[in-house]
């Protein structure tokens, strides 16, 4: 038996299964720990945990900072995309005479060269002076020339103006020269200031302008005359023209009364 064995049996406590924590150098905290339990012991667990937690916090902080940077970057990019594009600067037009549709940014000179503008057309080249045509009236026919000739129908209640060419009913009653109405037969009624003369000649000659002009002033009247087919009447209109009316046809009764004449109107 070893000489030290009796000491263990004299009341010394048995060493624990795991050595107690002590100083980092293994300590000399008493004989109970023994020299074998102090030297070569592993580093305390507390130190290892502290280092592990610090690294975890640093990693989490780095992750959070990276996330914040990503969010901020995305916001800045989207804000930049929403900003309207600033308008492009335009080159000022060099002249107010340039066409409104010309693009100033083309770099071309938009001013109008006055030397190339079309020359105004003079009035004498494009039109005839108004004084030349408007003041010139058609030459008047000599007195006794035929102004109008043709067939003329006069019906009841539709007077005729022989001064119109061709003769027509005037809206002014005083301008109408002759009317036809029924009164036992077909009656020819001269209008106001109109004279009529039934031509009678033994030779059955058709009166000329000179014949009517010779007798109308002295023998013409404004009295109504009953018409007969073939009758010839010289007349002077209310406008001073001479006319000759030859009865060609009589027809109708009452409101349908009508007479057809062969008429010549001479100019005055």
pLDDT at 34 over 70: no
pLDDT at 84 over 70: no
Go through the chain and tell me how many residues it has.
268
pLDDT band for 9, please (50, 70, 90 cuts): very low
Interval 152-159 mean pLDDT:
96
**What does the DSSP assignment read for the chain?**
--TTHHHHTTTPPPPPSSPPP--TT-----TTTHHHHHTTPPPPHHHHHHHHHHHHHHHHHHHHHHHHHHHHHHHHHHHHHHSPPPPPP-PPPS-TTS-TT--GGG-S--PPPGGGSPPPPPHHHHS--HHHHTT-PPPPPPTTSEEEEEEEEEEBTB-BBTTSSS-B--SSGGG--EEEEESSSEEEEE-TT-EEEE---TT-PPP-HHHHHHHHHHH-B---EE--TT-EEEEE-TTS-EEEEEEEEEE--GGG-EEEEEEEEE--
pLDDT band for 15, please (50, 70, 90 cuts): low
Interval 239-258 mean pLDDT:
96
Interval 192-203 mean pLDDT:
92
Percent of the chain with pLDDT over 90: 44
Percent of the chain with pLDDT over 70: 54
CA contacts within 13 A on the Cβ side of 213: 13
pLDDT band for 136, please (50, 70, 90 cuts): low
Interval 201-224 mean pLDDT:
93
Sequence-separated (6 or more) residues with CB below 8 Å from residue 149: 263, 264, 265
Token pair listed for 76: 């800045």
Mean pLDDT score of the chain, rounded to an integer?
74
Give the whole-angstrom CA distance, residue 158 versus residue 168. 9
Interval 197-210 mean pLDDT:
91
pLDDT band for 56, please (50, 70, 90 cuts): confident
Interval 147-174 mean pLDDT:
96
Minimum mean pLDDT range among 39-43, 66-70, 213-217 = 39-43
Interval 170-194 mean pLDDT:
96
Between 119 and 160, the higher pLDDT residue: 160
Summarize pLDDT for 88-135 with one digit per residue, the tens.
Answer: 655 555 544 444 444 444 444 545 454 555 555 544 444 444 444 444
């Amino acid at each position: 038996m070893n000489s030290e064995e009796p000491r263990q049996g004299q009341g010394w406590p048995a060493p624990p299964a795991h050595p107690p924590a002590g100083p980092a150098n293994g300590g000399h905290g008493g004989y109970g720990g023994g020299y074998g339990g102090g030297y070569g012991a592993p580093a305390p667990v507390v130190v290892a945990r502290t280092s592990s937690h610090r690294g975890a916090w640093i990693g989490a902080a780095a992750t959070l900072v990276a996330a914040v940077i990503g969010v901020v970057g995305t916001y800045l990019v989207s804000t930049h995309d929403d900003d309207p594009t600033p308008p492009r600067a335009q080159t000022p037009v060099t002249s107010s005479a340039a066409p409104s549709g010309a693009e100033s940014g083309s770099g071309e000179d938009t001013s109008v060269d006055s030397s190339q503008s079309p020359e105004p057309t003079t009035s004498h080249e494009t039109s005839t002076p108004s004084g030349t045509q408007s003041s010139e009236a058609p030459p008047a026919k000599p007195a006794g020339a035929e102004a109008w000739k043709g067939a003329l129908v006069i019906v009841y209640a539709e007077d005729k103006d022989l001064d119109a060419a061709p003769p027509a009913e005037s809206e002014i009653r005083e301008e109408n020269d002759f009317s036809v109405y029924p009164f036992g037969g077909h009656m020819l009624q001269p209008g106001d200031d109109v004279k009529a003369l039934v031509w009678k000649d033994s030779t059955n000659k058709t009166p000329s302008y000179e014949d009517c002009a010779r007798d109308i002033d002295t023998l013409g009247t404004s009295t109504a005359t009953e018409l007969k087919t073939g009758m010839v009447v010289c007349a002077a209109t209310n406008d001073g023209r001479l006319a000759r009316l030859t009865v060609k046809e009589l027809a109708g009764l009452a409101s349908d009364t009508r007479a057809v004449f062969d008429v010549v109107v001479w100019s005055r």
